[in-house]
Amino acid sequence: MELHIDIFKRGEDSEYMIYEFGPNHNQLGKVKINRETREYTMINEVPGGYTNIYCAQALFKIFKIYDSEKEFPEYTFFSSGR
């Protein structure tokens, strides 16, 4: 199964960040992430299902970039294929 997820930072303050993620611009979920604890709250699910898969991969990618660059990305993507 091929999987592509676009990940966009949509807002932030000193405590939280808001990210949208999904397979395309018409199917985006939204999550609120605590900068310090990395705990998250789902705001909107991805229309069409698979929210858990998209969210897990998006969070993994966001934190992987943060751990290596010490900055949260404005935009990134996750892609896997056959």
What are the 10-residue block averages of pLDDT along the chain, 82 residues in total? Answer: 92 97 95 97 93 95 96 95 66
Q: Structure pTM?
A: 0.92
Beta-carbon contacts of 43 under 8 Å, excluding residues fewer than 6 positions away, are 18, 29, 30, 31, 32
- Gap between the Cα atoms of 37 and 57, Å rounded: 18
Any bridge partners for residue 32, and if so which?
Answer: 18, 41
Q: pLDDT value at position 39?
A: 97
pLDDT score at 58: 97
